[in-house]
């Protein structure tokens, strides 16, 4: 192959290498647990925080789309704030992964709550079932 082509391909390879390097440094997201985050949270850095939504911690105000809850890994608890309705697979006592950053005022600002779609199912849940039945009654009763 002629040197011109070798040089050309080398230039492309270097450019690609640089783009990948820049891309990684700019969009790296660190996976952490609440205890890992608690010890050395850096404001502004992008994190993906995974934990259990603590029972009794979820507060959802539809009026101003404010969702607050606490994520815990059993050792540490991190308060999380999110703007937007709770996603479908979100609930107390369940696992959740949130993406966002640490706010120096002392909470985690979630930009994204990740829904986990599982191919296999858990056994039918009696409580949620009865909840739905009750919901059905209320809504049918209230009419349209």
Binding stretches for another protein (CB under 8 A): 1-2, 4-5, 8-9, 12, 16, 19-20, 22-24, 26-32, 48, 60, 62-63, 65, 83-86, 88-91, 94, 99, 114-125, 128-129, 132, 135-136, 138-140, 142, 144
Comparison of 105 and 123: residue with beta carbon closer to another protein:
123
Closer to another protein by CB, 106 or 124: give it: 124
Shortest distance, position 50 Cβ to another protein, whole Å: 9
Query: Please, what is the end-to-end C-alpha distance for the chain in angstroms?
Result: 75
Cβ closest to another protein, residue 9 vs residue 43? 9
Unique residue bearing structure tokens 């891309």: 23
d(CA 102, CA 41) in angstroms, rounded, equals: 7
Q: Is 124 helix (H, G, I), strand (E, B) or coil?
A: coil
Structure-token pair, residue 28: 């790296």
d(CA 85, CA 71): 17
């Amino acid at each position: 192959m002629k040197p011109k082509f070798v040089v050309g391909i080398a230039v492309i390879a270097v450019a690609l290498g640089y783009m990948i390097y820049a891309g990684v440094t700019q969009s790296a997201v660190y996976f952490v647990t609440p205890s890992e985050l608690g010890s050395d949270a850096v404001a502004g850095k992008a994190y993906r925080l995974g934990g259990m939504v603590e029972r009794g911690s979820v507060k959802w105000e539809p009026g101003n789309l404010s969702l607050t809850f606490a994520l815990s890994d059993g050792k540490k608890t991190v308060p999380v704030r999110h703007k937007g309705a709770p996603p479908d697979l979100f609930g107390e006592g369940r696992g959740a992964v949130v993406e966002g950053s640490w706010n120096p005022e002392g909470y985690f600002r979630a930009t994204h709550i990740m829904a986990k779609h599982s191919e296999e199912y858990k056994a039918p849940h009696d409580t949620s079932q009865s909840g739905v039945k009750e919901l059905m009654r209320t809504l049918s009763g209230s009419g349209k």
